[in-house]
Structures are given as C-alpha cells and as structure tokens.
Amino acid sequence: MSAKDVVLRGLISPVKGLMEEARVVLEQGITDPSPAAQDMLDHISRFRGKQMRGALLLLSGEATGATSDEHPTMAAVVEMIHLATLVHDDVLDGAEVRRRVACVNQRWDNQVAVLLGDFLYTRAFGLSLNLRSTYCSQVLSDTSRKICVGEIEQSTMRYNFDLNQEDYERIAGAKTACLISAACELGARYPEHGFSEERDRYGDDMAAFGWAVGLAFQIVDDCLDLEGDPEKVGKSVGTDAEDGKVTLPILCAYWDADEATRSAIRDVYTKPDLDRRAVRLHDVCDVARGVEFAMARARELVDSASARIKELPASDARDALLQIGDYVLERRW
C-alpha cells in the first residue's frame, strides 16, 4: 500500500464500518448466474478503485446526521453507476489500462464492454429500487442522463479551440462533478420527504460541495493526462490529445500563446498519423503554465467547497470531507 493510500484510508476512517457494508452490497450486486457474465464481472471487480463516491455519500450522511440503514446500499449503487460509466468511457476513449488492469475493451472487445456497462447500469437501478424511498432512483437516473449528455457534448466539442472556460466547466461538470454532487446530496437528503429546513440546507450545501470538488477532480485529472506518469496515475495518460479532447490546461496554454504557437497546438491535435501527441504538445507550447493556471482554478473550487461546509457541526466526518478536498488537488482517486 502506497503512502497516499494510507492517507486516503485515514480520510475515510469515520465511515469504515459503513464502507464495509457498502462493499458487501456491491459485491453481491455484481454477480450473475451466467458463467460468461460472471467471468467478466470478476474481471471488473479488480478495478473497483477507492470507491470515493460511495465514501463521500457516507461521509456526507455522517457529517449532516442523516445516516440511515439504507445509506450503504446507496453508496453501492453510486459506485455501480460510476463503474458503468468507467466501462463505457474505456470504449469511448480506446483506453488500454485502467488501474493497472487491462480494460474490458482490451481483454475482450468493445462489444462486451458496451454490454457490461449496460449490465452495471441496469443492476444499479434495480438495486436502488429496493430502497424504501424512490428518491435515490430518481436522483441517479437523472444524474446518469446528465452524464451521458455531458459526454455527448464533449464528443461534439472535440478539436474545438473556441471553447471558453464556462463551456469547459459545464461539460466537465456534467461528466464528472454531477455524480459526485449527487452522491453528497443523497447522503445528506435521503429519503427526502418530511425533513426540516435545516436538512434542506444541508442538502444544498453538500450538493454544492460535491459539484466543486468533483469539478476540481476533473481538472486535476485533465492535468495528469497531460503531465502524468502512467505508472503513478495507474491508467493510460495522453489519451485526451489523441481523442481530440481540448481540456482546461491546454486551453489555458492556448489562450496564453501567440498565433504561431496556437496554430502549432492545433496541428498537434489534428495532423493525421501523429503519435504521442501529449508529449509533442510540450515541444510546441508552455504546457506547464497551462497546468499551473488550471490547478489554480482547481484550488479555487476546493476552497469554495470547503467554505460551503465549514459551518456544519464539528465532526470527524466533516473534517474528513474538508481534507478530501485538499487530497483531490494532490492526486487522482
């Protein structure tokens, strides 16, 4: 276990028992009587990752005094939806390595990856229907739809250097911040009906916290894709430039550049048969400066997230949430 993992384990310690319950629900959910399906589901279980979305849901419940016996199930459902998006993302990105394990689309093929993602989505919805309130199902079906739309918009914005920061944040937010925000909000607001004004405010606060932290996370992720070491990041890097995704750090470098440099950046993105485009970007422009600007924005977002929950009653869970914001700036989950 790396030093970072030790830090992370400390952060989620206020919900250690609940996380264990969620993990059991998740493992039971990712099973099927079909041996062919089970074989693939076993493979998936190896890149489940740190389950930070589930942890955030549980911490949010603890920090706002909302935790119920159904919170671990919700955490498992959120993780399952996240897994579904990861599996489909890998089809979209043509990625080869996810958390140091071959992606589904490499181990089998794109066909199976599409189906497995569908399996996870439908299983997640099915599981959420076991909850006493349909509030979780409603929030997550709506959130999943927004994630799809964000990805669709991103795919139409490829190779588009006319994006402004607002466009970028709207798309990156729908793609990533949306589910993190929903997890935090669900933790604080479930089961929704019949609660007090105070709980309503907690719900709003946690939704805003999750959105800001989630967007910061995506920005850091985009920076890592440009600069990261695949060994440390644990997944393929440099894929954004290959896929024509114009991310915030590269946009910042672009805005800052003269016309000749801008043209060179566009060429790196669009010239056919080029390899290692992310590396080549470093040759034609000041990537480090773009990353610096983007990271400053990520820090600003984390600061606003922290401000939003500082007024919560003091608790280990609240402190953990505050520290997770800082953790996001340091590495990917």
- The residues that touch a copy of itself, with contacts defined as CB under 8 A, are 32, 34, 36-37, 40, 88, 91-92, 108-112, 114-119, 121-123, 125-126, 129, 134, 137-138, 141-142, 144-145, 147-149, 151-153, 155-156
User: Minimum CB separation from a copy of itself for residue 88, in Å?
Assistant: 5
In DSSP terms, 235 is beta-bridged to: 98
Q: Of 171 and 322, which has the nearer Cβ to a copy of itself? A: 171
Task: Give 127 or 312: the residue with its C-beta nearer to a copy of itself.
Answer: 127
Give min distance, CB of 126 to a copy of itself, in A.
Answer: 4
With CA atoms as reference, report the closest residue to 307 among 328, 323, 322.
322
- Given 3-state DSSP classes, what are the helix, strand and coil percentages for the chain, each rounded to the nearest 5? 75, 0, 25
Beta carbons within 8 Å of 320's beta carbon, 6+ residues apart:
11, 12, 13, 14, 15, 59
- The number of helix segments (H) and strand segments (E) in the chain equals 18, 2
H or E segment to which residue 212 belongs = helix 197-227
Q: In terms of Cα–Cα distance, which of 181, 244, 246 is closest to 211?
A: 181
Instruction: Identify which of residues 122 and 165 has a Cβ nearer to a copy of itself in the complex.
Output: 122
Task: Give the span between the Cα atoms of 225 and 235, in whole angstroms.
Answer: 9
Q: Which amino acid is at 286?
A: D
Residue closer to a copy of itself by CB (options 96, 319) is 96
Q: How far is the CB of 266 from a copy of itself (least distance, A)?
A: 21
Between 2 and 156, whose beta carbon lies closer to a copy of itself? Answer: 156
Least Cβ distance, residue 32 to a copy of itself (angstroms): 6
| Minimum separation from the CB atom of position 128 to a copy of itself (A) | 9
97 forms bridges with which residues in the sheet? 102
